[in-house]
Every structure is written in C-alpha cells, then in structure tokens.
A and B are shown apart, each in its own frame.
Chain A
Amino acid sequence: MNKNWRQVLPPRNITIFLCVVYLFTYLLDLYIIYLGIPVPKDIGAIRMPLLVLASAFYALYRVLNFHPFYSRKYREWLCLTPWSIEKPLPKGPVHLIWADLIILAPLTALAYSNFSFMTLVPLIVFLCVYLVMMCITFVAEQASFAVLCLFLAPFTIYPFVNQYVAVLVLIVLYFICRVGLRQFLRGFPWNTKYWKADTVKELREKAISQQVIGWPFRYLNVYETSGISVFGAFVLSLLLTWWLHVIQWVFDESYAFFGLFLIPICVAFFRAGVYAAIYRPPISLLGRIFTGRLIIPGYDKILIAPIYILLAGTLLPFTLGVLGVSLTLTVEISFFMIFFLALSLPPSLREWRLTGAYRIGQHVQKIPPRPVTPQNQALVEFFSSIFKSSK
C-alpha cells in the first residue's frame, strides 16, 4: 500500500500549487466576511472549477504517466526488460488502486463541503478523463473496447441526468476498460499497427506526422491509411447516430430538423475534400471543356459518393415523411444512411491514393513546421514536467 501510494502520488509542485490556490479562495471568503459583506449561500461553488481541474489533472497524470502507450521511451525500455503481464508495471499501475482514494476522497469531501449538490462531480470528471485517455489507447489494437465504451458512455447522462447513475455507468465502463487494458498489456511487446517493438515503423509514422517527409516522398509512399470495412462503417455510423440522438435529446429536438439540411452538405463536402484536397484533377476545367473530356471516370468517381450522400440527405427524409415516420426517427435514419454512405462508398482512400487518375504537384508542399522557439521552450518544459513523476 505504501509503495503504491508513493507510485501514484501526483507531482508535488502541482499538488502544492493547487492546495495553495484552494486555500487562497478560503482566505478570500474569510476576508469578505471580515469586511462585513454578506456572503452568498452557494459561494462554495466558486471552488468547484478548482476541484474539477484537480480531478482532471489527476486522471491525466494517472494514465499519461503510467500507461506504456503514451511513452515511447517507457515502451522501448520495457522491451529490454524481462517484464511480462504477470508482473506489475515497473513505473506503477495504470488501473485504479485503493491508494487513488487518498486523492479522490478528499476531492469528493471538499466538493461535498462546498456544494453538496455536486458531491460526485470530481469523481465523475476523474473517471471521464481517465476513461477517455484509456479509450485512446484502445485504438492501437483493441478497437472493440473503444467502440463498446463509446456506445455505453452516453448513458451517463441519458435518459436522465443523475450524478449517482453517471458514476454507476462510469464504473461499468471502467471495468470494461480494465479488461481492455489487460488485453493491451498481454500483447507485450506490442507489435501493433501503430508501432513495433523495434520502433522503426513508429519512427516512420512519426517522421510523416511531424512533416520530416514531404513532397514527393510522403505522397508516393505505400504506407497509406487502410480503408474501413463495410462492417466498420456500419458500426461507426451507428455510433455517430446514437451520439447525435443523445445530443439531440440534451439540447432541443427541433434543432435536429436543421441538422437534416446541414449534415448531408457538410458530410458530402468533407468527403469530397478528403479525396480532392491533395489529389487534383489531371486536367483543368477549361482543358476538359476544350478537349471534350468533360468526364474523366478515373477522377470523377470520387464525386459519386458525395452525390449519393446529398441524395440520401434529401430523398430519404422526404420518403420517410410521406410514410408517416416520426421526425426524430426520420432524422436518425437519415443521419445513419449519410454516415454509412460517406464511410463505405467506393473508392476507399487507399484505393484512391494508389489507383486514382489524379495529379499531385507542388501544391502539396508545405512550409516546414517551426519547432519550439526558445521563448516558449520554458512553457513547454513546464507542461511536460507536470506529468513527470515527482519522485
């Protein structure tokens, strides 16, 4: 217990800073009382953002500092050790342990003392941030856990908003993530599609993402994004529709009607943009007209999906309306179809990049990104030090 406590202890400097700021707000209260100004009953609520911030920070610290997913150096080092799933992670556990209560219990108690209506808010914020960070780790290999979590996550606020229900749902999600985490750790030394134990693939991806590589190598490489399967498109569309349903419930159902006009246009343009931003037509519009090549099938095929999306966005709601389907259901079926068409209609991005009749030129050449300047180097160092262990 003592060892675990030391392992999960958040960085000392930040803890002290947050405590000092918190005490300062109390002193401010006392000063206001001393001045004889009437104190509002719910003045304690002003301290709630501070508690929320502390909870979010602790959740970030717990995942970023302990999960090998977020640290290449840690992963590389682990690969050199005889570590296995049966042994505890050397830096400390990623999963929650009783020692976490030493931080979370005071935060909850402070929330109760300040604003009893929001007692569980720090715990909810902690779990939300922790689970989001865990879900990100699942994209490497355990996508099904991420999808399951994303499907269940809206139940924290839907169909009714209650902090106790939210905590209950988050605890269920935590246990799903716990299984996912175990799956992840079992995959050691993690030769995933995002990195390899030997790190070459990871270095390559990093070079591409950090724009060390540009025109033309980047655009002629063979490591293009793999396409999404029809089943994947179906699940993702269902997920998006489900989230939109919840968002629609949280806000106002009447907004959904405007979404019916906006979403197909946005999705159609987005899809066309993804395909055409870098990969331009092989000949200009004037060239097409004057040479009589009004349609270039190899290039213009990327416009078929956006046309279908726009058609689905206009004809489907109309048809469902004629059939007497309710507005909510009409909107949701239409959204689902729009997302599904956008994600599943050919050509896939991979197919397009490798076989499309496009032209790429120097329009893709970007100015290399500037590195961190000495002026903001200190700031970057400060933020990176936050997540370093205080030991």
Chain B
Amino acid sequence: MISVVNVWHHYGIKPVLRDVSLSVEPGELVAVMGPNGMGKSTLLGLMAGVLWPIKGYVEIDGHRRRNSIEEEIEIRKKIVYLPDNPYLPLYNTGREFLLAVGRLYEVEEERLMEHAEQLLKLFDLQENADSPIRSYSAGQKKKIGMCSALVTEAPILILDEPFSGGLDSSALLALSQILKRLADRRDVTVVMAVPVPELVESVAHKIAIIVKGKILAYDTADGLRKTASCTGDLAKVLEALIHPEVFKNIESYLEGRVS
C-alpha cells in the first residue's frame, strides 16, 4: 500500500504540490493524470524516493520513506521507479542491461535469464537483444527501459509516462495488458503518470487528477463521470473536470462564427 500524506513540495519558491494526500491499495493500478507541469512527475518522484517532501510524508506498506535505514532498505527492495527518460547504457546490449538491473534486485539468476528472454520476445526486441542499445530506435529504447522495470519483479511499479516516447501499437497493447493483468492478479501495484487519457480507462482501476499541485479528483473512471456530471469518453470527462469552461467556450466560439 502506498500512502501519500499531506505532502507539499517546492523546487523553488512556488509550491509544485500542495497538501496532496493519496492512498493506493495493493494490486491497484492508478493513473495520475493532468496537464503538463502540474506535479505528476513530482508526485511519482516522491513516491519513488528520489525527492524529499518539504512537508508531509510517504509510506510504502507501512514503512515511512527515509525514516530509518532498515525501513528504507525494505522499501527499496519492493519498489521500482522508471522515469520518463532513464539512463540507458548505450554501448551495452539490451540483454546485458536487463540482466544487470535484474541482478540489482536480486532476481534469481536462472529465472532472470528466462524472464529477460520473455520480455525481449514480448516487446519484439529479440532481434536486437544482443546489439548495443545505441543502435536502437527511440521506441526500442523506450521498450528496453520498460523491460528493465518489469524484469525486477518488484511488487510496486512507479512509471512516469510509460506510454509515451514512440512505442508502437503492439508495444502499447502489450504494456497496457501486462500492467493490467499483473494488477488484476494483485501481483503488483502500479502508479503511472499518463498525460493522455486514451489508454487509461481500459487499464487503470483508479485515476488521480492533479491540477496546480492539488488532487482535483481521485476515483474510478465511472466515479469521475459522476463527479463531472458528464458521460462519454474519459478525455471529455477530464476536460470537464480540469477545464469546465472549455466546452462552453467551444460552443460560444462556434455560435459566434459566421459560416
């Protein structure tokens, strides 16, 4: 379980997160959504432990982040964080990278080899598995980054914009289904920042909407529809919640326009 409790964060003068509280149950897949620059990545960074909240705290399975050496070690073993653009060893092969990350998370060697192979196959990287990462396309780099998070077999995944960065349709499908199935099996808890709503509804159990550093809404897709008093696809619901004046503005623009 991930608990974010009354968290405030600043990089400079302006607060990026303001009194954010959020709770993610084990086995839930939560999508954090919102316009750019509203604090999605900051919230994920705080959960992942790369940032330190100015106020409030984050708890993972009852252990407060950076509270004590023992608790932090416990947390770090359970959680994997994949930022939008992780470091990739360009001169090593994809397979070498996956094995190195797996070893870091103490995945048993034989299972690690097998898991890496499965992931390379799943993301259509088998042909390039033994080529240096520098020869990969942008989409393939994104895929190998995703594989590195999955190969750890960590029970908590914090993913920053996993669906962006040039993933092809098969990879999008594979990734969304893998995350969904793992979460449905209660094997993993996933928190991911997603700027676009298209893929979210079919995957996420809950959606958190962040606007100007505050949680505007945190509910299931249907719950959000009720809150927004809006039916239709999630994009419309989000617009109604984030920019309630958008539809009115569109209508007034079209009404006033001479055809």
> Which of B76, B88, B103 contacts A368, CB < 8 Å?
B88
- Say whether chain A's binding surface is mostly helix, strand, loop, or mixed: loop
Q: Is the C-beta of A273 less than 8 angstroms from some C-beta in chain B?
A: no
Q: Which residues of B contact A (CB under 8 A)?
A: 9-13, 45, 48-54, 66-69, 72-73, 76-77, 79-83, 85-92, 96-97, 99-101, 103-104, 109, 148
Contact A291 B13 (CB under 8 A): yes
Q: Is the C-beta of A391 less than 8 angstroms from some C-beta in chain B?
A: no
Q: Which residues of A contact B (CB under 8 A)?
A: 198, 200, 203-204, 207-208, 211-223, 282-284, 286-287, 290-291, 293, 298-299, 350-351, 354-362, 365-366, 368-371
Report A-chain residues with C-beta under 8 Å of the C-beta of B50. Answer: 216, 219-220, 359-361
| Distance, CA A291 to CA B14, complexed state (A) | 9
- Min Cβ gap B113→A in Å is 12
Residue of A nearest to B15 (CB): A291
Contact B12 A357 (CB under 8 A): no
| Distance, CA A358 to CA B10, complexed state (A) | 13
> Which of B67, B101, B109 contacts A355, CB < 8 Å?
B67
> Which of B10, B92, B99 contacts A287, CB < 8 Å?
B10
| Distance, CA A222 to CA B68, complexed state (A) | 13
Residue of A nearest to B93 (CB): A212
14 A/B residue pairs, CB under 8 Å, sorted by A: A207-B103, A212-B92, A216-B83, A282-B9, A282-B54, A283-B11, A286-B13, A354-B69, A354-B73, A359-B50, A362-B83, A362-B85, A368-B89, A369-B91
> Given A212-B97, A214-B86, A283-B10, 8 other A-B contacts at CB below 8 A?
A213-B101, A216-B50, A216-B86, A217-B86, A284-B11, A291-B54, A355-B67, A360-B50
Contact A283 B66 (CB under 8 A): no
Report A-chain residues with C-beta under 8 Å of the C-beta of B48. Answer: 216, 220
Report B-chain residues with C-beta under 8 Å of the C-beta of A203. Answer: 99-100, 103
Contact A200 B109 (CB under 8 A): yes
Report B-chain residues with C-beta under 8 Å of the C-beta of A208. Answer: 104
Residue of B nearest to A291 (CB): B10
Report B-chain residues with C-beta under 8 Å of the C-beta of A217. Answer: 80, 86-87, 101, 104, 148
> Which of B13, B52, B100 contacts A212, CB < 8 Å?
B100
